[in-house]
Amino acid sequence: MRTKNTPVIEKKITNLYKEFFNVVGVNHKTGELQSNKKLKFATYPYIGSEYGKRTKVLFIGLDIGKDEKRGAILGFMEKREVVEGLDSNRKKMNPHIAGTYVSTIYFFKKNWGMIRNTRSYKGGIMKFREKCEDNLLSYISFTNLHKFVTKDRRYRSGGKDREYIWQERELKLLMDEIKIFKPNILLFQSKKFGESKYVEIIKKLRKQYKDMKIYIAPHPSYRGVRAPQKYRNEWKAI
């Protein structure tokens, strides 16, 4: 069941994306880019069913990497069912979602001391769930900067879809998304967001949102030690 905030956000994001689709030439149903048939707009953002009920946390990645729904754009409900369902099916939870989950435990300050020194993300989540019944994935949202993906791409690794097509328009789209989500906390899930290529995003956010807490972290599936405190130590507050 969604909070009253969720459908409002969905409607605003849908209208925002439709406007973008019309300007740049994206098929509203298939996501196919008219000017480059090899690319498609892959997905709507993930919006947890309880987003806005607590501290609003938004995660931003560089790109989706994988074409999650062939011949169509992955919708809000489909994405929510998959992501929130991983809480009760942790065997299928990949390092990205698991690292996002433990990050949320830290932000909500719920039992972080209990899980911080566990040896893995999933170990920390299991320990957390022994004490708390909340599915924390339902309280967060996430999106990506680069929206286009190579059609039928099956594997997330590699950065071939991390290029702008229309830089100014794509940056504006992300900034407009952030304005709709109104997060209290924003975490960029790639250290590349600290590079000069993306510095303009950070500058605009710091100028526009004085009270928002902003962090840059490695992607949770990075090659370091995938343990809660080890991962937290890699974050940079900006």
Give pLDDT, residue 86: 95
- DSSP per-residue codes, 39-106: EEE-BPPEE-TTTTSSS-EEEEEEE--S--STTSPBPHHHHHHHHHHGGG-GGG--HHHHHHHHHHHH
Residue 163 pLDDT exceeds 90: no
Parallel, antiparallel, or unpaired for β 36-41 and 140-146?
unpaired
Q: Which of 197, 116, 136, 207 is nearest to 162 (CA)?
A: 197
Give pLDDT, residue 52: 94
Predicted TM-score (pTM) of the model is 0.95
Count Cα neighbours of 153 within 13 Å in the Cβ-side half-sphere: 21
Give pLDDT, residue 1: 56
Angle at 189 between CA 14 and CA 226, to 5 degrees: 135
Mean pLDDT computed over 187-215: 94
Give pLDDT, residue 58: 98
Tokens of 144: 């990506």
Give the amino acid at 42. A
Distance CA 179, CA 16 (A): 11
